[in-house]
Amino acid sequence: MANITSIRLLVAEDVPQVSQHVRNLLSMQSQVMLLEVLTDGSKVVEAAQQLRPDVVMVDLLLQGKVKGPQLIENLRDSGLDVPVVVLTVPQHPLERDPSRGIDAVLTLPFSGFELANILARVMTDRQSRAAGECRVISVFSPKGGVGKTTIAFNLAVALGQLGVSTALIDGSLQYGDLRVLLKVPDDVPSILDLPTDRVQESDVRSVMWRGPAGIDILLAPPRVEMAEMITVRDVEKTISLLRRLYEAVVIDTPTSLSEVTLGFLDACDVILSVVTYDSTTIHNTIAVAEAFASIGYTTDKVRYLVNRADSSGGMSRDDLARALGHELDFEVVSDGRLVVQANNEGTPFVVVSPDAAISRDVRHVASTIAGRTAGAPVRH
């Protein structure tokens, strides 16, 4: 989620005097970062996909090929799930209507305080709704082989065991790690089967595959080359809809920081960064943490999970925390025999052996993220 003290704003405004007025007001508001002012409404959705603003401000009277009302509708249907503040004048009154994509209305003339206050309010409202209805967790690592997919799968099942309605997304679009792990036939629908124009809730439900332990899974395409057909817009629209259908969404995120991966990470509430006591993994995790900071991700969005925590290789827990510059949020012990057997059978180890230390650790992660009671974590 965006930090309320640092709001990234994209403005669609074709009246120079109004644009300058907004610029002047924002020059005195340190908590708002103006990304760009666009005069052409037809370029706003694409710019929003690239710049990833926290709020878009649209002049209701915007002229050109795509006028103000049409742009508001386009943003609503884009799947970006970004709050929209509409500028208007007293002669053209407008009511706030989130169902139409109008999260707030600001009437000219307005002060810098009014502008900053309304931006902060729509951000707070959006974050409160997201936190209250659904938690989206991206399980991520910048290096393969750390157990990321296994953690994501078992975390989703553990959330389901807590009574949380959960969806799992196979975000490894090229190789379909979950599709392989669970031995899903190629003819089972994937994210590629969603309509590319206007995705409805019924469309999403029709392509979800019911996996082990009753978890709904949105699978990756069955062939490598099909991954190129999935766009950032598809990702954003899909997650936006899944938020309405489930209490939790877990994403098995790719290791590379591609545009689509950033789409997954931007749309989530928590990035669960999986790290092991391995020098290459630690180096890559530190490098990615710096990238996250430059993007504008807040420190509370990124949580660190140490997998195989009992295989430290001579490095202490404190050493790892100092290297990362962040406290370690979760630890999961290793259990090679159980994990390999469960994965070979395509079943979650939290179901196969619920009393194992590794299962209790994963349930602790699930209960902490979901805010629900579960068994106590193993002490390492």
**The pLDDT value given to residue 148:** 95
pLDDT at 375 over 50: no
Q: Specify the DSSP class assigned to residue 271.
A: E
- Tell me the per-residue pLDDT of 81-132, one tens digit each, with 9 for 90 and over: 788 999 999 998 888 877 678 888 998 888 888 888 888 888 776 665 554 5
* Higher local confidence (pLDDT), 255 or 99: 255
How far apart CA 251 and CA 169 sit, in angstroms, is 5
**The pLDDT value given to residue 344:** 93
User: Mind giving me the DSSP string for 70-109?
Assistant: HHHHHHHHTT----EEEEE-TTS----BGGGTB-EEEESS
Q: Amino acid identity of 273? A: S
* Higher local confidence (pLDDT), 163 or 380: 163
**The pLDDT value given to residue 1:** 37
**The pLDDT value given to residue 348:** 95
**Percent of the chain residues topping a pLDDT of 90:** 44
Residues forming a β-bridge with 270: 137
How far apart CA 289 and CA 175 sit, in angstroms, is 25
How far apart CA 56 and CA 78 sit, in angstroms, is 13
**The pLDDT value given to residue 127:** 61
**And the tokens for 98?**
């989130």
pLDDT at 374 over 60: no
Residue that the structure tokens 């936006």 belong to = 240
Q: Amino acid identity of 113? A: F
Which pairing describes strands 270-275 and 302-307: parallel, antiparallel, or unpaired? parallel
**The pLDDT value given to residue 2:** 41
pLDDT at 78 over 80: no
Sequence-separated (6 or more) residues with CB below 8 Å from residue 296: 2, 3, 6, 8
User: Helices marked H in 41-176 — which ranges?
Assistant: 44-51, 68-77, 112-133, 148-161
pLDDT at 66 over 70: yes
Mean pLDDT of 50-65: 90
Lowest mean pLDDT of 101-110, 202-211, 266-275, name the range: 202-211
Give the domains, in start order, of the chain with CATH numbers: 7-130 (3.40.50.2300), 134-370 (3.40.50.300)
Mean pLDDT of 46-63: 90
Mean pLDDT of 165-174: 91
Q: Which one of 243-252, 261-270, 348-357, 367-376 scores highest in mean pLDDT?
A: 348-357
How far apart CA 101 and CA 109 sit, in angstroms, is 22
- Per-residue pLDDT band for 312 (boundaries 50, 70, 90) equals confident
**The pLDDT value given to residue 3:** 41
Mean pLDDT of 260-283: 92
**Percent of the chain residues topping a pLDDT of 70:** 91
pLDDT at 320 over 50: yes
**The pLDDT value given to residue 225:** 85
pLDDT at 217 over 90: yes
13-to-49, 50, 235, 272, 340 alpha-carbon distances in Å: 18, 18, 28, 38, 57
Which pairing describes strands 135-140 and 248-252: parallel, antiparallel, or unpaired? parallel
Cβ(55)–Cβ(25) under 8 Å?
Answer: no
- Per-residue pLDDT band for 157 (boundaries 50, 70, 90) equals very high
**The pLDDT value given to residue 380:** 37
Q: How many CB atoms lie within 10 A of CB 278?
A: 17
How far apart CA 56 and CA 44 sit, in angstroms, is 9
Please give the mean pLDDT across all residues of the chain: 86
> Could you tell me the pTM of the whole model?
0.65
Instruction: Identify the helix (H) or strand (E) that includes residue 139.
Output: strand 135-140
pLDDT at 136 over 80: yes
**And the tokens for 96?**
């706030």
**And the tokens for 137?**
């967790």
- Per-residue pLDDT band for 377 (boundaries 50, 70, 90) equals very low
Mean pLDDT of 177-196: 85
